Structure 1
Amino acid sequence: MHKIKTYLQKHGHAPFIFGEGRISGYIGAALGLLSLLAVFCFLLPEWLTTSELREVYDEQFARSLLLLGLILSFSLGTLNIMLNGHKRLGVTAIVASGLAMVLGGTDIQVDAIGKTPYSLGLDWFVLALLISAAVFIPLEKLYAKDPEQNILRPHWRTDLGYFFVSHMLVQFILIFITASSNFMAGWAVSPNLQESVQSLPMVVQFFLAVLVADLGQYWLHRLYHVVPWLWRVHAVHHSSTAMDWLAGSRVHFVEILLTRTGVLVPLMLLGFAAPALNAYVVLVGIQAVLAHANMRVNAGWLEFILVLPRYHHWHHARHADYIYKNYAIHLPLIDMVFGTFKLPVKDWPARYGVFGKPLPDGIVRQHGYPFRKPVSESSKP
């Protein structure tokens, strides 16, 4: 039994127990590594941070957050070494935070930030991971749909890899979307239509943007499930056998480009004002994480108006009756209109994943999966 427990702890699958030092170890190591990445952002802001996000936070906020991260990382790493027999997490925390300090820590001076052709969204990854984990991990523990599911459940490293890639390449995605929009603008833009849209009250623009985006995403999502090659791309997202706040990050890069282009280009061409688009992007960010979360939210009538965890969990269910159901991302009304709505009164799915042969493990092999020659036992929606 001791060997089994040791193996589970080593691979991050054992439940957390207060007093063992694993909680402090994981938090300390995570904060230490994120602090080190934040230092790199200070050292190379032109290449590692996005100009759009720098407009949202100021330098002093970033320095204060970095200081807090360094203090907590060193303290929690020390606590892990004192309490836990496996000290690699504590050592990782101390080494990472120490290296961050050696490189300059919060004292790094940032001069005028120059412009570069492109940059990696390292600051976006650090902030998004911090905020998402801080909000959803406690909520999933308080309102767990599956209380037995561990925070570090199997394949969490794979999903963290997807989270990293999608946030790091955010500017490349925006460049692709902008290029697509500019390509279509010459023949698809109607100045009169754009003026009409922009004349609407901002609240109306927001709700209209949600409706337009969900209509486009609904049909694209439906195509993912019925076109064989598109399904092989989308199957990556459905391959997760556990649902939580991190599972929604498991999306093939081809699907990211197709979906975000298919949704954002129409919104840009219709001329929605920036505040309405920004509000929509915030909704997408929250709902994408919430819909996959391991949270037992029984919201009554609200579940027929907004896509919440139970609704989207059934879309991911390994259940024959739900293979082609619940495509909507924001509004169940879209599924109702097109005949793909299905939601039990109270039940939740028991199993998740694809039918047939499982997909390969790991982000690299999963990205190569759609391009391999399909075999008869390959996964089915």
Structure 2
Amino acid sequence: MTETFNRILDSITGWIFEMIVQPAMYDLGLMDWAEDAVDWIQFGLFGVVTIIVVYVVCRPLEAWRPVEPVTDRRAIRTDILYTLLTRLGALPLVAFVLLNSLSAWWAGTVADSGFVPPTLETLIPGLREMPILAFCLYIVILDFGEYWRHRFQHRLGWWWALHSIHHAQRQMTFWTDDRNHFVDEMLAALWFGTIALAIGVPPGQFPLLVLVMRLAESLSHANVRLSFGRVGERLLVSPRFHRLHHGVLSTADHGKNYAVLLPVWDWMFGTADFNRDVYPRTGDPEAPEALATGGWLRQQFIGLKRLAGAIAGRPGY
């Protein structure tokens, strides 16, 4: 599964580089950067694939059975801009550089020390012969990490100052998943990447892991009246389950339903609400109006201002 996905991604990347990018780099005398260019093309191409997969899955569901009618298309367009910048713009380039640097530092540190850090496959050697089971275990561990990152976003005042941008959206759709401050995005990328490195996620499986997690997160934000039933709601996060998190249960200090993919973490740590009949209005009533209706640049500026206020301990932040 992962091999087929990566083979297709590599083939398209190679074609784009050879037919479009390489000739231009040769003319400009930039061939010393050829290897980095290939990596960046693949990174950007993966962003395109992610957007397409999410749109194909989520858009028909929103058209089929929306929770609420669309009343603010401008807010949705702002969320689309967030997605494009996050998946295709400068933000993924920064994340790519940071994660590559982290990976290189980790590899160098391990090599210099002579210490071989344990990974899932060294702790459980049989996983090498069961790639599908290994893939599922990686998802479970990464999802556990995402649950706690989300809780910290609500519990730590300075982090909530950034994350509140995400919760200010009143017209929630699957595009809302990427509605985050760029500093928050960098922290999330480092958090996720560090855990992946620590447990030894194979590079070949990493893109597909990210795709699965992104699809789950986007679906959970979709404007669709969809519940997975009494049993299913306890196995996978549904749009209804996560909508409660963005509704009346969404506050800086007393949130519920933090899970990204597996609700079991909310159940284990006492933060679950399985009320299947509720589809609340979304949006943080305490957030500045500009966080709900302002443009991308305005929201980013306010996020930085609120972050500085929270770190300084000023009232109201």
TM, length-normalised to structure 1: 0.64
User: Which residue of the other structure, out of 262, 266, 271, is the alignment partner of 1:331?
Assistant: 262
Percent identity over the alignment?
25
8 Å CA contact 2:164, 2:287 repeated in 1? no
Return the alpha-carbon distance in structure 2 between the equivalents of residues 111 and 166 of structure 1.
22
**1:156 is aligned to 2:76:** yes
Determine if contact 2:227/2:276 at 8 Å carries over to the other structure: no
Q: 1:323 to 1:252 in 2, by over 3 A?
A: same
Partner Cα separation in structure 2 for residue 189 and residue 282 of structure 1:
29
- Report the Cα offset of residue 129 of structure 1: 4.1
Partners of 1:194 and 1:133 lie apart in 2 by 34
Partner amino acid for 1:245?
F
2:176 is matched with 247
Q: How has the CA–CA distance of structure 1 residues 345 and 159 changed in structure 2, closer, same or farther, with 3 Å as cutoff?
A: closer
| Structure 1 residue 244 displacement after superposition | 0.9
Specify the alignment match of 1:172 in structure 2.
Answer: 94
Task: Output aligned runs, 1:1-381, within 5 Å.
Answer: 54-55=9-10, 57=12, 110=20, 112=22, 115=34, 117=36, 119=40, 123-124=45-46, 126-146=48-68, 148-149=69-70, 153-168=73-88, 169-185=91-107, 186=109, 190-191=117-118, 194-197=121-124, 199-200=126-127, 201-300=130-229, 301-319=231-249, 323-349=254-280, 351-360=281-290, 361-372=294-305, 374=309, 376-377=315-316
Ranked by relative contact order (alpha carbons within 8 Å, sequence separation 6 or more), the top structure is 2
Shift of 1:302: 0.9
1:130 Cα offset (Å): 4.4
Q: 1:287 and 1:357, CA in 2 relative to 1: closer, same or farther beyond 3 A?
A: closer
Which residue matches 2:28?
none
- Taking the aligned partners of 1:264 and 1:304, their CA distance within structure 2 comes to 27
Contact 2:53 2:215 in 1 (8 A): no
Quick check: 2:237–2:261 contact (8 Å CA) kept in 1? yes
Cα RMSD (Å) of the superposition? 3.2
CA distance in 1, matches of 2:56, 2:121: 39
- The alignment partner of 2:233 has SS state of helix
C-alpha separation between the residues in 1 aligned to 2:99 and 2:156?
A: 23
Give the Cα–Cα distance (whole angstroms) in 2 for the partners of residues 251 and 206 of structure 1.
27
Paired with 2:222 and 2:204, the residues of 1 have a C-alpha distance of 27
Aligned length: 279
Deviation for aligned residue 1:327: 1.1
Q: Which runs of 5+ in 2 are unaligned?
A: 1-5, 24-30
Q: CA deviation at 1:116?
A: 5.8
Pair 52,183 (structure 1): closer, same or farther in 2 beyond 3 Å: farther
Q: Structure 1 stretches of 5 or more lacking a match?
A: 1-50, 63-107
Between Structure 1 and Structure 2, whose CA radius of gyration is higher?
1
TM-score of the superposition, structure 2-length normalised? 0.75
In 2, are the aligned partners of 1:357 and 1:377 still within 8 Å (CA)? no
8 Å contact from structure 2 (residues 240, 276) kept in 1 = no
Structure 1 residues 260, 109: CA separation in 2 closer, same or farther (over 3 Å shift)? Answer: closer
Instruction: Write the distance in 2 (CA, Å) between the matches of 1:284 and 1:310.
Output: 17
Q: Which sits farther off after the overlay, 271-280 or 159-168?
A: 271-280
Distance 2:61 2:124 in 1: 38
Which residue identity lines up with residue 292 of structure 1 in the other structure? H
Deviation at 1:149, TM superposition (A): 2.2
The 8 Å contact of residues 359 and 369 in structure 1, kept in 2 or not, is answered as no
The AA in structure 2 aligned to 1:256 is: E
Name the CA shift for 1:197/1:366 in 2 (closer, same or farther; >3 Å): farther
Cα displacement (A) at 1:318? 3.5
What's the CA shift string for 1:102-144, capped at 9, x where partnerless?
Answer: xxxxxx9647565164547654555544444344322211122
